[in-house]
Amino acid sequence: MSGASRGAHLAIQGLYKRYGDVQALAPTDLDVAQGEFFALIGPSGSGKSTLLGSIAGFVPPSGGRILVGGVDVVSVPPYRRNIGMVFQNYALFPHMVVFDNIAFPLRMRKVAETEIRTRVERMLAVVRLEGMGARRTSQLSGGQQQRVALARAAVYDPPLLLMDEPLGALDKNLREEMQDEIKQFHRQIGATVLYVTHDQDEAARLSDRIAIVNHGRIVQVGAPRELYEAPCNSFVASFLGEANLFPIQSVAPAVDGTTLEIGGGMRLATTRKPPEAATGAGIMACVRPEAIGLNHRTSAAAGNTVEGIVDDAVYTAGMLRYRVRVSDSIQLTVRQPPGHAAHHAIPGERVVLSWRAEDTLLVPRE
Amino acid sequence: MRVALPSFTALALVYLVLPSLIIVPMSFSNQLYLTFPPPGWSTQWYGAMQTDLSWPQAAANSFLIGVPTALLSVALGTLAALAVVRGRLRFAAAASALLVAPMLLPHVIIAIGLYPVMLDLGLLRGYLGVIIGHTVVAMPLVFITVAAALRTYSESLELAAMTCGAGPWSAFRHITFPMIRMGVVVGGLLAFATSFDELMLSLFLTGPGTRTLPRLIWEQMNAYLTPTIAAVATLILGFSLLLLAVVAVLQRARPVESQAP
Ligand SMILES: Nc1ncnc2c1ncn2[C@@H]1O[C@H](COP(=O)(O)OP(=O)(O)O)[C@@H](O)[C@H]1O
Ligand SMILES: [Mg+2]
C-alpha cells in the first residue's frame, strides 16, 4: 500500500521435516526474489503446508535454514517473525468486527489508536471494503471474508506474505474474480508472496514462478510457460495442464531426430534425442492436446500423422476437447479453439490427427 | 408416536424430580417430626433454621469451600483442556480419559484414598484439605466444558493471532479466552454445584469447624428428624435449580460478539 516496504528475499536452505517415520518435507532449497509472486503447487499431502508452516513458524523444522531478508528465522518465534499469513478458512476472529480484525496486528504492535485508524481505513480501501469496518465477519460473503484476511495479513507491511490455499473454499467464479484481486493486491503492497494452491490454472495466472511439489520434494521450478513447455518429468507434464503420455517400447535414430515405438504398431517422430543410449524404458513421450491438429490439410508435413475415431467431443470453456481412439489401447486427447478446426468432428467420425515432430516431448518417467 | 414420546418424557421427569420435590411440602409441616403428607402447615422450621447457629455456619462453610474449589477447578481444568485439545500430545486420548475418571469413580473410594494423605499433610478437617478433595471431582466438569468449547473453532485462529504478532499470553487473552469464556463460566458453575452438593468427601475430610451443609444435614438426619432438615434441603434445592437455570441460559446464549470500533 505505501509501497515503502519492498518485499524480502526468501532463501530456504536444506530445510526438512520429519514426523516420526514420515518425511513430510525432504531437504529442500528454494530462492524467492524480492517482490516475486511465487506459487507452490502439488497434490494434497505433498508437503506444501509443512513448508509454509515452517516459514511462518508453527512447524519446527527438523533441520535447515530459512532466511528472510538474509536473517535466519528458524529460532525466532512466529509472533516475532513479522511475516503475514492468509489461511484457507480465513481464520478471522469471530468475536471481533472487521475493523478490529484488521487492527489486531497493529494493536499487538502497540501502534497509536489514531494511526491504527488511518492504516486500517487505508487497508479497507485497498481491499474495497470501505465502510464495512463495523460489520461482523459473519455478515460478510466468502469473498469479502477473504479480503478481510488479506487486509489483516498485510496491514503491518510484512515483507513476506504466505498464503495457504486462500481461495480453496470459494466456488469457481468467485475464485477467478479473487485471483485478479490478489494480483492487484500484490502490485499495491509489493511484498514477496509465497502462495500455495493445488489449482494449476490459478498458479499460472498469478505467479512469476511456480515450484511443483511431490512427495515432500520440489520437483521443478520455473515460469509457468517453462514448466508447461519443458516439463522435467512425466509427473510435472501431467500435473500442469493435460498431457498425452506414452510409454516407449524402443527408440531408433532417424534422419533429423528419433523414431519412437509406442506399441500397437504406432511410431512417433520427435526432433529430440533421448538421454544417452536409452532403450526407452525410463522415458515417456508427451504430446500436449493443443499441439495436435485435427484434419489439417498440411498434415503430410507435420511429422506425425495418425488416424483415429472420435470417441467423444466436449465443449468446455472456449475449447473443444476430443478423445480420439487411435488403437485398441491408445486414446489421444485433442484440444482446439472452436473457430480453428475446419469443421467440428462428431463422435464416431474418422479423423486424421497430426503434429510437428518438435511437439513430441521426451520426459523421464516418474 | 407423536403422543407417546412426550408422555414418556413427562413420566420420566416426574419419576426423576418428584422425590426431590416432596421435601418442599414436608418443610412447611406443623409437626415436630418429618411426616408426609403433613397434616397442617407452618413456616416455623425456616425460623428454627436461623436460631440454630450451626446451619448458617455450615452454609458459610459450603461457600468457603465451594468458591475456591470452583476457581481452582477452572484454572486446572482449563489448562488441562488446552493441553489435551491443542497440545499435540501423543497420548491425548488416554490423558483425556484419566482426566474425567475422578468424576466416574465412587466418591467413597477417592475419600478413602485422600484421607490418609490429608492426615499426613496435616490438612485433615481444615478448609484446604476438602477444597483439594472437591477439586479432584469438580475439575473434570471444567475440563469437559472447556475442551468442548475449544473444539468449536479451528486452531488456525490462534495461529493467525501469532502471525499477527500476539505472543502466547496475548493470543490466549485476546483470542482463546473470549472464544472459550462460556465454557469456562459454565464449567465453573458446575464445579461449584458439585462441591456444594458433595457429601462423601466432606464426611471424610471436614471437621466440626469446617462441616458443610450436606454433612450437617446428614448428621442431623441421624440425630433428630425435625422438619428443619426439609427446610434447609428446600433452600439448597432452590439454589441448585437456580444454578442449573443460569447454566442453561448461558449455554443457549450466542458466543460473544465484540463492540464496534
Ligand atoms: N502434525 C502432523 N503429524 C504427522 N504427520 C503430519 C502432520 N502434518 C502433516 N503431516 C504429514 O506430512 C505430509 C505433508 O503434509 P502437508 O504439508 O499438510 O501437505 P499439503 O499441504 O501439501 O497437502 C502428509 O503426509 C501429512 O500426512
Ligand atoms: Mg495443505
Q: Which parts of chain A have pLDDT scores under 50?
A: 1-4
CA distance A299 to A357: 12
Q: What's the grid cell of residue A126?
A: 485497498
CB contact at 8 A, A67 and A14 = no
Q: What's the grid cell of residue A240?
A: 500442469
H/E element holding A225?
helix A224-229
* Ligand 1 site, CB within 6 A: A 19, 22, 24, 42, 44-50
Q: In the prediction, which pLDDT does A251 show?
A: 84
If we measure between CA atoms, which residue out of A194, A200, A109 comes closest to residue A152? A109
- Residue A349 vs residues A281, B40, B208: alpha-carbon distances, Å: 34, 103, 101
pLDDT digits (tens, 9 = 90+) for B33-80: 888 888 999 999 998 888 888 999 999 999 999 999 999 999 999 999
DSSP tag of A78? G
Assign residue B221 a region (left: φ > 0; alpha: ψ between -120 and 50; beta: otherwise): alpha
If we measure between CA atoms, which residue out of A88, A21, A94, A24 comes closest to residue A54? A24
Q: Find, in chain B, the residue whose alpha carbon is nearest to that of A149.
A: B160
Q: What's the grid cell of residue A14?
A: 536444506
Q: A114: buried, middle or exposed (CB in 10 Å: 19+, 13-18, 0-12)?
A: exposed
DSSP tag of A21? T
Q: In the prediction, which pLDDT does B254 show?
A: 53
pLDDT digits (tens, 9 = 90+) for B75-112: 999 999 999 999 988 899 999 999 999 999 999 999 99
Backbone angles phi, psi at A208, to 5 degrees: -75, -45
* Domain range summary for chain B, segments of one domain joined by +: 55-258
If we measure between CA atoms, which residue out of A280, A276, A285, A261 comes closest to residue A355? A285
Q: In the prediction, which pLDDT does B4 show?
A: 85
Atom of ligand 1 nearest to the CA of A196: 21
CA distance B184 to B68: 15
Disruptive mutation site among B90, B163, B175, B254 for chain A (greatest number of A CBs within 10 Å)? B163
CA distance A334 to A353: 9
CB contact at 8 A, A212 and A218 = yes
Atom of ligand 1 nearest to the CA of A165: 21
Mean pLDDT of B146-155: 95
Q: Are strands A209-214 and A63-68 parallel, antiparallel or unpaired?
A: unpaired
Q: Whose CA is nearest to atom 3 of ligand 1?
A: A19
Q: What's the grid cell of residue A69?
A: 531478508
Q: Which single residue is written with the C-alpha cell 459473519?
A: A138
Pick from B156, B160, B261: which is nearest to A100 by CB?
B261
Greater confidence (A337 vs B213) lies with: B213
Which residues of chain B approach chain A closer than 8 Å at the C-beta? 153-154, 156-157, 159-167, 170-171, 174-175, 178-179, 255-261
The percent of residues in chain B predicted with pLDDT above 70, rounded, is 96
Strand order in the sheet with A192-197: A84-86, A160-164, A192-197, A37-41, A209-214, A217-222
CB contact under 8 A, B164 and A57: no
Whole-prediction pTM value? 0.85
Q: In the prediction, which pLDDT does B88 show?
A: 87
CA distance A50 to A15: 11
Distance from the Cα of B67 to chain A's closest Cα (Å) equals: 29
pLDDT digits (tens, 9 = 90+) for A255-299: 778 888 887 778 888 888 877 656 667 889 999 999 998 887 665
Q: Whose CA is nearest to atom 17 of ligand 1?
A: A47
Average of per-residue pLDDT values in chain B: 91
CB contact at 8 A, A254 and A269 = yes
CATH architecture of the domain with range B55-258: Orthogonal Bundle (1.10)
Q: Whose CA is nearest to atom 2 of ligand 1?
A: A19
Q: In the prediction, which pLDDT does A141 show?
A: 92
3-state secondary structure of A77: coil
Mean pLDDT of B131-153: 96
Helices (H), chain B: 4-21, 23-27, 44-51, 54-86, 92-104, 107-121, 127-150, 156-163, 168-171, 177-197, 200-205, 213-223, 228-252
Checking if the pLDDT of B14 tops 60, the result is: yes
Q: Which single residue is written with the C-alpha cell 519446527?
A: A60
